Chains A and B, each alone.
Chain A
Amino acid sequence: MKNKGALSRLWSFAEYGSFREEEFTLSPSDERHIDTDTPENRWLTTVQNSERSVGARAASWFSRRGVEIFQRLYRVAAVFICFTLIGVLLAVVAFLPPFGGADNPAVNEVPERYVAGAVEETGATNAVAGMISAYRGFDTLGEAHVLFVAACSVMALLRIDGPARRHGCLPDPEMTGEDMDFEPNSDLILRKAAKILVPLSFIFGLYVILNGTSSPGGGFSGGALMGAGVILNSVAFGFSRTERFFGERVYHIVKTACLTVYALLMAYFIYMGANGIYDHVWLGVPGGIVSGGLILPINIAVGFEVACTMYCFYALFRKGGL
């Protein structure tokens, strides 16, 4: 039993670099509860008592000497493990097919069809866009929802409800006077630059989204660019100016609409495909803006969702709300 104690300490230490279990057993709050010596608890107390006295002594010894020794040992062990990992992986790399070879296992009929069939089957001249939103569309649906899950989690963590809302996590706006959010007229250079850069990044983001089927980019990169534009706007001119067109309500509407439209489009596409029904989707003109069939609306939906999420992250971090 005691060996196990030491062993489990070692394990927990090896994983986190701290001793956990003993400390928990001996935490003052629990002790208080066991020590309430009612007849009903006596069995429990007797069970724990013998073990605890030994455990306490061992723990105090550990806390005096053990921690240092194990900390050093742990560092050495961790470095050793990491070097072993790198070594093993390097050995693996040496046995892999050569870099850039045209007859590697990865070059087979799958990517061939993605390239050769891109224009006819998906209508997109950018094979990557065709692949991620048409051939393997299901993965990308999951990916869009990963971002959504993260946005919800961050919102749950950082959104401040109630009266403290406006000031965010920074309790008193006057205290952080240099803070740009609360002092919008801070930096002339930034504002002048933003005047040019904000519209530019919007336009460029839109361009990347709309041309995602025929040039590099697509929903995610274009959306991130647009999101960066909104963030820049609020950095340079303060949140109040962004809130004029982008508040929490708009955020929720846009995000829900985009994700629902995306899921419905994907569901339609998958349902039709799986049941072998001909879907009446016009693939458009390859190379033009209206091309790629469903890829264009999907890109637009994803783009706006990503832009919203990126700004949402920033706003939540800076002021605890949208």
Chain B
Amino acid sequence: MPEFLENLFTNYYETGAVVIFGIGFTSLLMHRNLLKKIIGLNFMDSGLYLFLAAKGYIAGRLAPIITDGDADPTKYVNPIPTGLVLTGIVVSVSVTAFLLALTCRLYDKYHTLDIDEITNLARKERD
């Protein structure tokens, strides 16, 4: 068990990332308020990206911007996770905008943000 905790402490960024991911996942799954669900989604994504970026960090190295023509790979951190997270951030802002637009429309129609209530109201109407 102490070894387990020690490992967790060594991988502290990943540990934090996983906890944030879990909290975000919980909010996305459980919250009935749509806005909080969306914030939860963003937390979940941030947790994921933190995890991914932590995989690319190498202690004591610099950001992968080559200065003075010194292209020695052992001096810079891994650029792959950074690039992937960049893609991920854009994806998550797109999804957030889409969900928020849906929220606006739903609130306009049903005057509530509670997804369960909205579902019940929607079921009563004829499509």
Contacts and interface: CB of A to CB of B under 8 A. Distances in A.
Tell me whether A and B are bound partners: yes
A162 interface: no
A169 B97 CA distance: 17
Q: Classify the interface of chain B: helix, strand, loop or mixed.
A: helix
A157 B30 contact: no
Interface residues of A, number: 72
Query: For the complex, would chain A's binding face be called helix, strand, loop or mixed by DSSP majority?
Result: helix
A27 B116 CA distance: 16
Contacts of B105: 157-158
Contact of B64 (A17, A110, A128, A313): A128
A214 B29 CA distance: 42
B87 A139 contact: yes
A100 B67 contact: no
B10 A18 contact: no
Interface string A88-117: 011111111011111010110011101111
Interface string B31-65: 01000000000000000000000111111010111
Contacts of B59: 100-102
Given A93-B7, A115-B73, A158 B104 contact: yes
Contact of A216 (B15, B56, B65, B72): B65
Q: List 10 tightest A-B contacts by C-beta distance, closest first.
A: A150-B94, A86-B22, A100-B59, A127-B64, A94-B7, A82-B26, A132-B83, A112-B73, A157-B101, A89-B18
18 contacts: A29-B126, A78-B26, A82-B25, A86-B19, A90-B18, A92-B18, A99-B13, A99-B57, A100-B57, A104-B55, A115-B76, A116-B71, A126-B65, A143-B87, A150-B94, A150-B98, A154-B98, A306-B90
Interface of B: 4, 7-8, 10-15, 18-19, 21-22, 25-26, 29-30, 32, 54-59, 61, 63-67, 69, 71-74, 76, 78-83, 86-87, 89-91, 93-95, 97-98, 100-102, 104-105, 108, 115-116, 119-120, 123-124, 126
